[in-house]
Amino acid sequence: MPPQQERRRTMEAALCFFMLLAGYYVLRPVREEMGIEGGVDQLQWLYTGTFVVILAVVPVLSWMIARLRRRAAVPVVYGFFVLNLLVFYALAPRLGPDARVVLARVIYVWVSVFNMFAISLFWALMTDLFSVAQSKRRFGLIAAGGSAGAVVGPLVTGSLARSLGPMPLLLVAAGLLLAATLGIARLGQAMRLEAGRADEALGGRWWEGALLLVRSPQLLGIAGYVVLHTTVSTFLYFEQANIVAGALHDPGERTELFAAIDLGSNLLALGLQALVTAGLARRYGLGFLLWSLPAIGMAGFVALAIAPVLVVLVAVQVLRRAIDFALAKPAREILFTGVTPAERYKSKLVIDTVVYRGGDVVSAWAFAGLTGLGLGLGAVAAVGVPVAVVWGAVARFLGQRATAAQRDADGG
């Protein structure tokens, strides 16, 4: 790909990711408040519901990907998500109080499912469009576009939530997602212009992604990294829900706090992506980027074990999520540039949805079990420390494999 075309493609991709994450982050603070209003002791059930829905949707989506051209599959799925939001908005004023509670829980699960599929498919398309070398140069900038959208989304929610209420925000999110859909469709056209890059349907069966996963040490390593990531993230999420519920009692204040956490972490991530991600990847390699997040997880659990209070929680969450978006997430996506198209779309979809949310469910019930045994929030945080240590070891393994693969590709 000529440098000028590469730069143009990068800017288009960054704009699409901006729209996608802006739409998601319009919805996210509302979802968090819905989770607390439903009772923090019920969160594990919402996690379980999300996992069940993903188990039902993955075969359908895998079937579509097997039969549609790759560049067409992503905008078709995004268009379906836009339609869902419009249906939710149309239903809300027609439902009674009890049914609206059910709809709120459905929207909570839907946002979680949407986040998994939409972002996974976006990065799958990016790894199709960019080579390994190009991805190291450009993925940080593309991720920065997403972080900019993730800054705008909470600002929109914070400014409109009190005056409009949550349901009109569904239309705002639908408009942003529609813009992302149109941009992705345009970007996908470039695949036909790439010399030697076919855009045929992948074919195969819907379960092929799981089979490819269990047969590949590389994919199994990525799956292990993701499971440990979800374990740490879920423990911190439940710590957040419990600490915030105990510290703040007004729903509006809690929603504003969640939006502020989103805004702070995304601003920090945007700065890191724009200034340091590409340089760190070139100088220290993917292993360092992958390891940075477990290191923050270890430090965060130690801090919460000592002082499980709101100010510590906010600091840990802002720093952890910024490092995830700016360093670890781009590094995980770069790992997929060296696999086959079938592994990139089918197995990646399984990892980013079934494996990810499966880890969420197990971790959610583990947290509920630990607190049910009488452990306080500080003690549960201490349990998370060895999990983060193992996670760091897996990150080191993946980094070593990536370095060896790059050395082989360079001829020595």
**What are the backbone dihedrals phi and psi of residue 206, each rounded to the nearest 5 degrees, phi first?**
-65, -25
How many angstroms separate the Cα of 337 from the Cα of each of 17, 134, 406? 18, 10, 11
Average pLDDT over residues 289-309: 92
Residue 98 has pLDDT above 70, yes or no: yes
Distance CA 222, CA 243 (A): 31
Residue 39 has pLDDT above 60, yes or no: yes
Q: What residue type is assigned to position 105 of the chain? A: R
pTM for the predicted model, two decimal places: 0.72
Residue 134 has a pLDDT of: 78
The candidate with the shortest Cα–Cα distance to 213, out of 340, 114, 48, is: 340
The candidate with the shortest Cα–Cα distance to 18, out of 155, 185, 154, 143, is: 143
Average pLDDT over residues 36-49: 74
| CATH no., domain 3-197+205-409 | 1.20.1250.20
Residue 271 has a pLDDT of: 85
How many angstroms separate the Cα of 115 from the Cα of each of 28, 155, 186, 197? 10, 19, 22, 28
Residue 198 has pLDDT above 60, yes or no: no
Confidence at 337, pLDDT banded by 50, 70, 90: confident
pLDDT > 90: what percent of the chain?
25
Higher pLDDT, 403 or 351: 351
Distance CA 175, CA 25 (A): 13
Distance CA 120, CA 46 (A): 21
According to DSSP, residue 307 is labeled -
How confident is the prediction for the chain on average, in pLDDT? Answer: 82
Residue 211 has a pLDDT of: 81
Average pLDDT over residues 269-273: 83
Average pLDDT over residues 1-10: 79
Residue 106 has a pLDDT of: 86
Higher pLDDT, 401 or 86: 86
Residue 195 has pLDDT above 50, yes or no: no
| pLDDT tens column, 148-179 | 898 898 888 878 877 777 778 889 999 999 99
Residue 200 has a pLDDT of: 54
According to DSSP, residue 338 is labeled G
| pLDDT tens column, 62-92 | 777 666 666 677 888 899 999 999 999 999 8
394 burial via Cβ count (<10 Å: 0-12, 13-18, 19+): buried
- Decide if 348 contacts 336 (C-beta within 8 A): yes
| pLDDT tens column, 217-246 | 888 999 999 999 999 999 998 888 888 888
Average pLDDT over residues 261-287: 83
